[in-house]
A and B are shown apart, each in its own frame.
Chain A
Amino acid sequence: DAGVIQSPRHEVTEMGQEVTLRCKPISGHDYLFWYRQTMMRGLELLIYFNNNVPIDDSGMPEDRFSAKMPNASFSTLKIQPSEPRDSAVYFCASSFRGQAFFGQGTRLTVV
Chain B
Amino acid sequence: AQSVSQHNHHVILSEAASLELGCNYSYGGTVNLFWYVQYPGQHLQLLLKYFSGDPLVKGIKGFEAEFIKSKFSFNLRKPSVQWSDTAEYFCAVTGGYQKVTFGIGTKLQVIP
Which among A10-18, A69-77, A79-87, A96-104 touches the partner chain?
Answer: A96-104
Q: How far is the CB of B23 from chain A (nearest CB, A)?
A: 14
User: Knowing A42-B104, A97-B32, A99-B34 touch, does A55 contact B44 (C-beta < 8 A)?
Assistant: no
Question: A108 in the interface, Cβ–Cβ < 8 Å?
Answer: no
Contact of B43 among A33, A56, A102 (CB under 8 A): A102
Indicate which residue in A42, A91, A99, A104 contacts B49 across the interface (CB closer than 8 Å).
A99
Cβ of A87 to closest chain B Cβ, rounded Å = 16
Q: Decide yes or no whether A93 CB sits under 8 A from chain B.
A: yes
- Report if A105 contacts B (CB, 8 A): yes
Could you show 26 A-B contacts with beta carbons less than 8 Å apart?
A: A30-B98, A43-B44, A43-B90, A43-B104, A43-B105, A45-B102, A48-B99, A48-B100, A55-B97, A56-B99, A93-B100, A95-B98, A97-B32, A98-B32, A98-B34, A98-B51, A98-B98, A99-B46, A100-B36, A100-B44, A100-B46, A100-B92, A101-B46, A103-B43, A104-B42, A105-B43
Q: Please give the residue numbers on chain A whose beta carbons come within 8 Å of chain B beta carbons, in ascending order.
A: 30-31, 33, 42-43, 45, 48, 50, 55-56, 91, 93, 95, 97-105
Given contacts A31-B99, A93-B44, A97-B32, 4 further A-B contacts (CB under 8 A): A45-B101, A48-B100, A95-B98, A104-B43
